[in-house]
Structure formats: structure tokens, C-alpha cells
């Protein structure tokens, strides 16, 4: 959620420091599918909170000089072996901005997959959601009058461009209301024994949401508080139930409803910090003033385990993530 000017300024400064220059390519064209029936947002839906339950072990790589010094918290998870292999303040609950959208996406994907819901129409008529989409700093993907948006449309907007209004609308589609959905998020976190407290489906702090009518859970200054380890585990669950998320998360551009979605993950091909040897293929960026720059990255080198990394409040999010991925891959023997 990082939103445009502030976040791009920080990234631009970091890129200049490393001698990188942004290059833009032609937008990836998205072919829109047929709509199906309009969903009754009041219908009851109960997630399978135990779906894809796993046990994660800790088997840390022994390092000395390799600490990711710029991040308030950093974690690396060997997704293939379910092992946390690097942790720097990884168990500390912290603000994570749009990385929290991964839980929203997990629950939306689960319902879409179980209920044949990808092409269902989502109610996007709420004035607060439209206002949020139009906001210069917090918006981006607009809910246009008279336009209909499917679950897949909003999933792509929330994943690729980190649309806040799309994430909130998805949550309301899943649970029937914003408050009910946030309760689901916390129940899912409890089921997985995560260090996580959710107050927002978008990742925005309540102070940002108030003017749009969505500071409904917790106090006026509350925010999602989630450990970096918990974020890595949520990301692993998303990949487990829907491996195709990688195909979407690695798109630099996407088209939905005539709007171009821009992916701010600068480790992807054609971006300033791209390194072919890393094989990065996702997953989620995040930014708020309070949380700082955040990134969940996924990568898998040929013949090696899939790696999920998390850095939180890290002004060098991309270079530090690259460093973390290399660290894990170079110590692959220690993970066996």
C-alpha cells in the first residue's frame, strides 16, 4: 500500500544510490472473463481455519556479519522444508503495512476456490470505498460508476497494485461486512498460532481509514501488529492453497477494467534491482509512513528450495532482500 509519491520517492533515492535507473515496458494485457451471478454479500461463509495447517520448525543459519541491519525485522523461511532459517526480531509484533493483505488474499482465495467464486461480482458501490480508490495517496485502482468487478479483478488489484479499496471489498465479499471479516482474519491467525492482531483488511492504519468510514475495529490510532515470521507463514499458506498466485505476483503490469496496475516489486524482471540469478517471482510490497517500506519476496533457484523472505521497515528493502535470498541459497546445505 505504500502509495505512489512518497514511496516512489524513497525507492528512487535508493535506486540512484545503487546506480539503477527505472525502465518501463509495455503493459501486460489482461483478458477479462465472463461475469457470473451477483453474490449475496449477506450469505454465511465459514472458512476452513485448519486448511493447510502446518508445523514450522526453526533451524537458523549461523551468521555473524550477514545481519540485515537496515530492517526493523527480517525473516527467511524455507518453504519446502517448513523451516525458519533466518530471524532478526522475527517474533516481534510490528506494523507491516500492506503485507497484511496476504491474509485478506488467503481468505478470499479460499472462498473463491471452494465456492467457484472467481467470476462472482463484488459489491463496490460503497461511497467510502470509491473515495478511497480516488484518493491521491491511498488510492489508485478506481471503482467506476456503473462498472462491475469480479473477485478475480479485485484479487489482482489488491495483489499487484496493492489496492486498499479492492482489499476491503474482497473482505466484505468473504464475510458480509468489514468487521466480520477482520474477526475472520484474527480467527485464522489464532488457528495458525501466529503472533498477529488484525484491525484492517487493507493494511492501512485506523488513522488513515477513519475519513473513509473504515476505522471500525480497535482504537482510532490502532494498526495491524504482526510478526515478520507470521507474515512469512501467511505467505506460505497462500502459496500452498493457490500456487498460481506466483503467475500473477510476478507481473510488472496488469490490466483490469481498462486500468493499468503497476507492481512496485523492483526485484522483478525489467526493474532496477532485478538479478536473474535470484529467480524472484513475487510476492507483496507494503508501505505506510508508520510501517515504513516492507517486502515479502518469493524465489526459487533451479534445484533449490523455495524461499520466502520478509523485511519490515527497511529503506533498502530490495537490496536487503536480495542479500537475504543469497544468504539462504549459499547455506542450502545447512538446511537439509
The neighbouring-strand residues paired with 260 are: 255
The angle formed by the CA atoms of residues 125, 109 and 286, to the nearest 5 degrees, is 75
Cβ 11 vs Cβ 266: under 8 Å? yes
CB atoms within 10 A of CB 119: 16
Instruction: Establish whether 53 is a catalytic residue.
Output: no
* The three grid cell numbers given for residue 205, joined into one nine-digit string: 492504519
Give the span between the Cα atoms of 128 and 108, in whole angstroms: 21
In sequence order, what DSSP letters do the residues of 118-147 get, joined into one string? TTPEE----HHHHHHHH-TTT--S---TT-
Is 131 known as a binding-site position?
no
Strand 196-197 to 225-227 pairing: antiparallel
> Would residue 191 show up in a list of annotated catalytic residues for this protein?
no
Angle value at C-alpha 42, between 38 and 47, nearest 5 degrees: 95
Name the catalytic one among 72, 87, 162, 227: 162
The β-bridge relationship of strands 57-58 and 83-88 is parallel
Nearest residue to 239 (alpha-carbon basis) of 182, 307, 289 = 307
What is the H or E stretch that residue 288 is in? strand 280-288
- From the list 3, 101, 130, 250, the catalytic residue is 101
Single out the catalytic residue among 72, 98, 227, 266.
Answer: 98
Give the start-end residues of each E strand in 144-224. 149-150, 196-197
10 Å Cβ neighbour count for 44? 8
SS3 165: helix
Contact 97, 208 (CB under 8 A): no
Q: Does the annotation count 87 as an active-site position?
A: no
Question: Which residues does the annotation mark as catalytic?
Answer: 98, 101, 162
Residue ranges for the binding site for substrate?
A: 284
Residue ranges for the binding site?
A: 284
Amino acid at each position: 500500500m505504500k502509495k505512489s509519491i512518497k514511496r516512489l520517492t524513497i525507492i528512487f533515492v535508493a535506486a540512484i544510490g545503487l546506480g539503477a535507473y527505472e525502465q518501463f515496458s509495455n503493459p501486460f494485457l489482461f483478458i477479462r472473463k465472463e461475469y457470473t451471478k451477483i453474490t449475496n454479500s449477506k450469505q454465511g461463509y465459514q472458512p476452513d481455519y485448519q486448511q493447510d495447517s502446518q508445523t514450522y520448525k526453526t533451524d537458523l543459519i549461523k551468521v555473524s556479519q550477514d545481519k540485515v541491519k537496515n530492517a526493523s525485522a527480517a525473516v527467511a523461511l524455507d518453504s519446502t522444508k517448513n523451516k525458519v532459517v533466518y530471524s532478526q526480531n522475527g517474533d516481534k509484533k510490528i506494523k507491516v503495512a500492506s503485507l497484511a493483505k496476504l491474509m485478506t488474499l488467503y481468505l478470499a482465495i479460499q472462498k473463491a476456490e471452494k465456492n467457484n467464486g472467481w467470476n462472482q461480482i463484488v459489491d463496490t458501490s460503497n461511497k467510502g470505498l470509491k473515495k478511497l480508490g480516488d484518493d491521491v495517496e491511498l488510492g489508485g485502482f478506481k471503482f467506476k460508476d456503473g462498472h462491475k468487478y469480479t473477485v478475480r479483478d479485485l484479487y489482482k488489484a489488491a495483489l499487484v497494485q496493492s489496492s486498499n479499496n479492492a482489499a476491503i471489498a474482497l473482505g466484505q465479499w468473504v464475510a458480509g461486512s468489514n468487521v466480520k471479516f477482520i474477526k475472520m482474519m484474527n480467527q485464522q491467525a489464532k488457528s495458525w498460532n501466529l503472533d498477529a492482531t488484525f484491525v484492517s483488511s487493507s493494511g492501512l492504519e485506523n488513522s488513515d481509514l477513519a475519513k473513509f468510514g473504515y476505522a471500525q475495529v480497535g482504537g482510532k490510532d490502532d494498526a495491524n501488529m504482526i510478526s515478520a515470521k507470521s507474515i512469512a507463514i501467511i505467505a506460505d499458506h497462500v502459496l500452498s492453497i493457490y500456487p498460481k498466485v506466483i503467475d500473477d505476483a510476478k507481473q510488472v503490469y496488469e490490466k483490469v477494467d481498462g486500468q493499468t496496475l503497476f507492481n512496485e516489486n523492483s526485484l522483478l524482471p525489467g526493474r532496477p534491482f532485478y538479478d536473474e540469478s535470484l529467480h524472484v517471482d513475487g510476492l507483496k510490497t507494503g508501505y505506510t509512513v508508520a510501517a515504513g517500506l516492507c517486502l515479502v519476496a518469493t524465489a526459487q533457484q533451479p534445484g533449490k528450495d523455495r524461499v520466502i523472505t520478509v523485511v519490515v521497515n527497511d529503506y533498502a528493502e530490495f537490496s536487503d532482500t536480495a542479500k537475504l535470498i543469497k544468504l539462504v541459497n549459499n547455506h542450502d546445505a545447512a538446511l537439509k
